[in-house]
Amino acid sequence: MSELLFEIGTEELPAGFQKPALDQLKSNFISRAKELDLSHGSVVTIGTPRRLALLVEELADRQPDSREEVMGPSKKAGFDKEGKPTKAAMGFARSKGAEVSQLQIVNTEKGEYLMLVQERKGVATAELLPGLLTDLMQGFSFAKSMHWGAQTYTFARPIQWIVALYEREVIPFVYQGMSAGRVTRGHRFMANGALEIKGIAEYRQCLQDAHVLVDPEERRRAVLVEIEKAAAARLDPAHAHVAVDEDLVETVCNLVEQPFGVCGSFDERFLQLPDEALITSMREHQKYFPVVDNDEKLLPYFVAVNNTKVKDLALTRTGHERVLRARLEDAYFFFGADKKTKLDDRYEALTGIIFQAKLGTMLEKSERIIKLARLLAEKFIPEAVAEACRAARLCKTDLLTDMVGEFPSLQGNMGCAYALHDGESSAVAQAIHEHYLPKRAGAELPSSALGAVVGLADRVDTLCGCFGIGQVPTGTTDPFGLRRIALAILHILEHFDWSLSLREVVHKSLSLYGDKVNGSSDTVEQVLAFIRGRFVNDQLAAGVDGEAVEAVTSVHFDDVNDSLQKIQSLVEIRGEEAFSLLAASFKRIRNIIKENTETAVDDLLLKEPAEKELAAVCKDVSAAVLPLLEKRDYSGALSAMLALKGPVDAFFNEVMVMDEDPAVRANRLNLLTAISTLFLRVGDISKMQRS
């Protein structure tokens, strides 16, 4: 067993490229090693903006020897009556790179067959590594790649060096004219000299001595220590601390090889800006961390993280402050200018923003959102219909403000701030902000019903419009984020426990587009199928019983929370033995009735005691179950349905369904169809049959 160290040195990689690249490097190595039958121990990938490194321990010295027995044609087909090989035998041998003389005749259960025994001696790992490393180099998939110089290959950034060591020796590996060695480089500015690497054991320490923290987790911890230390050097830790944003920590971690924090300040007048505007100015453009007091209120300070050790702290601080001041001055100016025009006065100007070329302007979208929001509000919050329509009218107007033009991520936040300034109610202002929530899967949901209603209206309009013009997501493209939109719809409805017919609201949404879209029933079904697919995937990802999910959604999917109740009821009852047996019988029922839809049973045509008993029990169960189904007491309904288990078993044991008399046969099929129809009100329990 030996170790492998592979490092790709590059120009600075974008922060967002590094983790995906390291994940790909690890998974591609594991996959390729498995294909080559090379066993190995731990596989670790670490890196910085200037390097991607793979560290493998206990890598096998060679492939294991193998012996493979390959069966060929029968002896009868392989040799003629004179014992000479036929084309079948010769073709089989040739396809395996062997001679006919190497074929053996073996006895099998089917008779005598030709067999080829192929013994392969394992190849030494050292011989396999150049090809394996080439595959790894070519296996990256970056958001953007580039050519440079005379090179024919692409990479995220120009490659500067390659380290490739196996058993602590250099692998004779050349990629696009660049030879691998054992020389890496330290920090670009503080130790940019050649560093000779001997092996994995010395790798991390050697780079650390050269001011490079190569492990992202170690570098992340260092970032957290540095920003708190920088703040504490200037402010009292008992009353102030850094507001840590995990996404920003990860970004900063991927911008530096060793972090050095500096705490700066800005003019207190900028605190008049909305918090999100201040934070965005610091975070998105400068990658600065805001500082807050014990009440999480913003203070006029920030912390910057440098990639080099600060020699002149005052000079460095002044530089950061000057850069941030320019950004804040712009924001302050935009904020002041924006407040001179009310959001409501901007409404008609939304006609100047195109929502989608085929779907019209943002003004047209807003008018549709208002109508959908009214419909939803009348159902869920009838006391706030007027506020819902008001929030829907204003929810997109901040797109016309200078602040959102400069900081697009502030959509909704600025609308909320300007609405409050204009004298709108706090509920309307909050809804303007919250209608964008959740911004991604698993993110914060709206806290107000008003925000949820406007958010649903906005998303349903986008989803239906895109499907109406054929802009349907594919396996690789989803330019309008429709998967995210569908999940947001599901999560909002689930969070507020609202009962909503998706079919009705989708049909209404498509009708509001008029002749701009294809509003046919086929489009409605496509939208519902898409949402259903996201619902199923979401439930499976959450660990919900997949068979219960399929049992419900394969029959009917329209009301999200109704479906969730059915699924939960099936999950709870499936542990009962009677249910498992009934599920098997139900599958038999479904197979027998096929396309039959009639449920009327004529008591006069019931001949056998078992079918009379089943019909009687079915009536009693239906009488008990139907009221429970109306109340959505699916657990109670399923428990009541279990009474059918015994009579159904007796029916199948004692009654011939396909009687010679057509009327009797039809009557028995109708009886089974009635039972099937009752169960299908909850779900197709045949999907939950125990194997």
691 pLDDT above the threshold of 60? no
- Would you place residue 663 in the very low, low, confident or very high pLDDT band (cuts 50, 70, 90)? very high
Determine the Cα–Cα distance for residues 158 and 156; give it in Å rounded to an integer. Answer: 7
Closest by CA to 262, choosing from 285, 238, 286, 296, is 286
Each residue of 337-369: pLDDT tens digit? 999 999 999 999 999 999 999 999 999 999 999
Tell me phi and psi for residue 42, to 5 degrees: -65, 145
Predicted pLDDT at 477: 80
Closest by CA to 62, choosing from 137, 133, 120, 136, is 120
Determine the Cα–Cα distance for residues 554 and 545; give it in Å rounded to an integer. Answer: 14
- Summarize the confidence of residues 234-247 as an average pLDDT: 94
Q: Assign a CATH topology to domain 565-688.
A: Isoleucyl-tRNA Synthetase; Domain 1 (1.10.730)
- Would you place residue 658 in the very low, low, confident or very high pLDDT band (cuts 50, 70, 90)? very high
- 583 with 688: CB under 8 angstroms? yes
**DSSP secondary structure letter of residue 143:** S
Closest by CA to 228, choosing from 262, 277, 254, 200, is 262
- Would you place residue 632 in the very low, low, confident or very high pLDDT band (cuts 50, 70, 90)? very high
- 216 with 196: CB under 8 angstroms? no
Q: How much is the mean pLDDT over the chain?
A: 93
| Burial degree of 204 (CB within 10 A; 0-12, 13-18, 19+) | middle
580 pLDDT above the threshold of 70? yes
- For 517, residues 6+ apart whose C-beta sits below 8 A from its C-beta are 359, 464, 465, 467, 468, 469, 510, 523
Residues of the chain with CATH 1.10.3210: 347-543
- 364 with 346: CB under 8 angstroms? no
| Burial degree of 549 (CB within 10 A; 0-12, 13-18, 19+) | buried
Per the model's pLDDT, the better-predicted residue between 149 and 59 turns out to be 59
- 566 with 499: CB under 8 angstroms? no
329 pLDDT above the threshold of 60? yes
- For 483, residues 6+ apart whose C-beta sits below 8 A from its C-beta are 473, 534
148 pLDDT above the threshold of 80? no
Segment among 152-156, 193-197, 385-389, 437-441 with least mean pLDDT: 152-156
Closest by CA to 640, choosing from 688, 609, 681, is 681
Could you tell me which CATH class the domain 347-543 is placed in?
mainly alpha
Each residue of 472-518: pLDDT tens digit? 988 778 888 999 999 999 999 999 999 999 999 999 999 999 999 99
Q: List the structure tokens of 49.
A: 């903006």
Closest by CA to 377, choosing from 447, 452, 488, 438, is 452
Residues of the chain with CATH 1.10.730.10: 565-688
Each residue of 251-297: pLDDT tens digit? 999 999 999 999 999 999 999 999 999 999 999 889 999 999 999 99
Predicted pLDDT at 1: 61
Count how many Cα atoms sit within 13 Å of the Cα of residue 516 in the half-sphere of its side chain: 21
Predicted pLDDT at 528: 97
Q: What is the pTM (predicted TM-score) of this model? A: 0.80
Residues of the chain with CATH 3.30.70: 2-62+124-209
Residue range 2-62+124-209 in CATH 3.40.1350: no
Predicted pLDDT at 583: 85
Predicted pLDDT at 239: 94
Percent of all residues in the chain with a pLDDT value above 90, rounded to a whole number: 82
β-partners of residue 291 are 242
Predicted pLDDT at 601: 94
Q: In the structure, how many helices (H) and strands (E) does the chain have?
A: 27, 18
| Burial degree of 56 (CB within 10 A; 0-12, 13-18, 19+) | buried
Give the Å distances, CA to CA, from 109 to 88, 133, 546.
Answer: 21, 46, 40
Predicted pLDDT at 690: 60
Instruction: Give DSSP secondary structure letters for 343-384.
Output: HHHHGGGGGGSEEETTTEEHHHHHHHHHHHHHHHHHHH-GGG
- Summarize the confidence of residues 99-126 as an average pLDDT: 87
Closest by CA to 171, choosing from 161, 160, 182, is 182
